[in-house]
Structure 1
Amino acid sequence: MLIQRFKSKIHRATVTEANLNYVGSITIDESLMKAANILEGERVQIVNNNNGARLETYVIKGEANSGVICLNGAAARLVQPGDVVIIIAYAYMTPEESASFEPTTIMPKEGNRLP
């Protein structure tokens, strides 16, 4: 049996852009992706702390050290620049793997910079 478990999180990033006229996804600063152990194309859940919206999409790599957090396509209707979001990735693993697994959480500073 496999369970789905929290794997990685970018906690309290600030949305920098919302681009309705894009095919969909979330663009994340590559430096944040690497620090949080999130891969390009990976499925993530976005939780908007400002309005309670929750959505799922996939990740597009943004320019490293740019601080970009951009919701694209339909997701752009659920956020505004300046909103604070939590970006969560999950992984499937056995209960045995889960027992010793340590998820990765990063908490960006102002401007979505690494601490």
Structure 2
Amino acid sequence: AGLIIVVVIFMLLEREDLRDRFIRLVGYGDLHRTTEALQDAGKRVGRYLLMQLVVNILYAIPIAIGLWILGIPNALLWGLLALALRFVPYIGPAIGMLLPLFLALAVAPGWS
């Protein structure tokens, strides 16, 4: 995960250079159309990630409230972790569920 974050940071810092390289690689013959396609793709991906963030927030709020009602320590932290892990397909929500579950088992007085 750390390696991915570092690569994304460097890609964001050099996005104009990467865009120019991509244009030279793919569509140097029709520069205007290639640039428009890249801008359109960027807008669509940005809109998708924004909507994904909204869905993840609406997913994390009930989880944080439910954990707080159950008396789990640091319920807000677990809600934020569920929000972040929801971006990971398939396994993210499962990991976000298992960690507070194990904590609930550990702190419950009569769990044995």
| TM-score, length-scaled by structure 2 | 0.21
Bigger fraction of residues in helix: 2
Q: Which has the higher contact order (CA 8 A, sep 6+)?
A: 1
- TM-score, L = length of structure 1: 0.21
**Greater Rg by CA:** 2
